[in-house]
Amino acid sequence: MHPFPTLFPPPPPSDYAINHSFANTINKPPYSTPYYPPLDCPPPWSHVTLEFHVKSKGDQYDRISALWLGGSELLRTSTAEPSEDGIFWNVRKDITKYSSLLVQNYLKFTLMLENIVNDIYTGVYHVNVTLYFYKDNAVEVPLAFKNQNLIAPVLQLPLFGDKSMYDPPADLIIPISAPDSSKGYWFIIESELDVKFDKVRVPLNTRKVVLELYVSFHGNDEFWYSNPSNSYIRMNNLSTPRGNGAFREVFVTVDGKLVGSEMPFPVIFTGGINPLFWEPVVAIGAFNLPSYDFDLTPFLGMLLDGKDHVFGIGVTDGIGYWLVDANLHVWLDTASTVVEAKNVVNICPASQISRSEQYQSLDGSFEIKAEKFTRLEGWVRSSSGNLTTSITQEVRLRSSIRFRKNGTYKAVKQNIKVRREAKVLNDMGGLVSRVIVRGRYPLKVITWTLPGLKNDTYILVTNVTHAVNERIRIGKLSSHVNNKQG
């Protein structure tokens, strides 16, 4: 987590708060209430922080929760494990990039937390959500970078990619989400063939567009990174539905054309693998799941025609079920009504995947290698001049699963390496901005099931090593995050 009190003064009196309790809410619509910005703190704001606080007495199972404003997702979180003091957790998140939503009146603020209360699961979740609005900068941006669309490294919080693309915040945010919110605004993806679609019309004076994708995996795919192949399951006559191998990729299409994909970070929820693990601490991202950013500016030449375009979201090799939705952040050229754009380079192929497996009875090994190289380039001619956005991305995934001791010993290793570079050039070929992100996301999980001291009992020996290692260069600035958990 990134507690903002180290960066900002105590919360100002200008805020917006809601309180709600979730008891028997399974298969019921989410809670919604009208939103309005604070009258005593009108925009613009230098910063907006969301605080999500939950407490409960009793026992409960781990659940997923999300918050939306006007159908656009602001936060996705999972619930904490029970402790002697009950269940409680607190999340603080910078939501300044959603300012174009936060300035509006009468939007619906929606909160989803499906829960059940009975003789076994006795906890009612009491949720408090508060938005804090700041008028003054608590950390001064260096003067040399004030006019370069950059933010100070201390404010950037670079975990899971470059966030400078949202500074300044977008002028418009369009949700790409389920039209029927009775089960939340997220799409529910049940299989690899289950692609969800939404129509969007982009304003003709759009000069930049970024798609922010929210993803979480549940049910038979909660531990997709440890799933064996279907042939292993069939040959051993296993009843587990957790198959399809250990490769997943979330992809985005526009009018049927692939425009981006992400091999997702394997978040381990609070009850995952071994629930006793997650009482004093939680896994990386469990309380603030990462979202993924796709700069679609090079595709504006296709989008700026005044017509509806169909955005699609799917999961390669996915099984039931995944929860996905997206926010389309749009920056407008306020000095003109029409912007010209053209896509120059579009190299966005499907990932190259190789698989190998060998096993005898319940023991064996499974190896997966996946690689992808993407290069996108397009120019936009607006009142700011003719600017060319060039994006390159290299992604490599290595995955191995090994079963030993008649399948009672399982070792899972996965490593994702990413290099992304985004450049903006002027019409003379001069460099306007440049961001390079290098990331490495290793995971190692070893589980060993041993017989217990009594009949029908067992001992689960668990070892988990999980890390995020990112280095980001913004112009001459650089920042580094090494978040490791074992």
Q: In this predicted structure, what is the pLDDT of residue 188?
A: 97
User: What does the pLDDT look like over 102-114, one tens digit per residue?
Assistant: 999 989 999 999 9
Tokens 């017509």 correspond to: 307
Sign of CA dihedral 153, 159, 161, 164: negative
Looking at residue 146, its pLDDT comes to: 35
| pLDDT score recorded for residue 137 | 56
Strand-strand pairing, 340-347 and 363-382: antiparallel
Scored b (16 or more CB within 10 A) or e, 277-310 reads: bbeeebbbbbbbbbbbbbbbbbbbbbbbeeeeee
For the chain, which domains are there?
A: 1-138 (2.60.120.1570), 139-485 (2.60.120.230)
Under 8 Å CB-to-CB from 268, ≥6 apart: which residues? 278, 283, 284, 286, 464, 466
Residue 234's contacts (CB-CB under 8 Å, 6 or more residues apart) are none
Distance, in Å, from the CA atom of 104 to the CA atom of 173, rounded to the nearest integer, reads 12
Within 13 Å, how many C-alpha atoms sit on residue 15's CB side?
A: 14
Per DSSP, the residues of 42-75 read PSP-SEEEEEEEEEE-S-----EEEEEETTEEEE
3-state secondary structure string across 283-335: CCCCCCCCEEEEECHHHHHHHCCCCCEEEEEEEECCEEEEEEEEEEEEEECCC
Cβ–Cβ < 8 Å for 216, 321: no
pLDDT, position 214? 98
Q: Phi/psi of residue 387, each to 5°?
A: -115, 135
Cis peptide before 3 (omega within 30 of 0): no
* Amino acid found at 410: K
Collect the ranges in the chain with pLDDT lower than 70.
1-13, 137-159, 476-481, 486
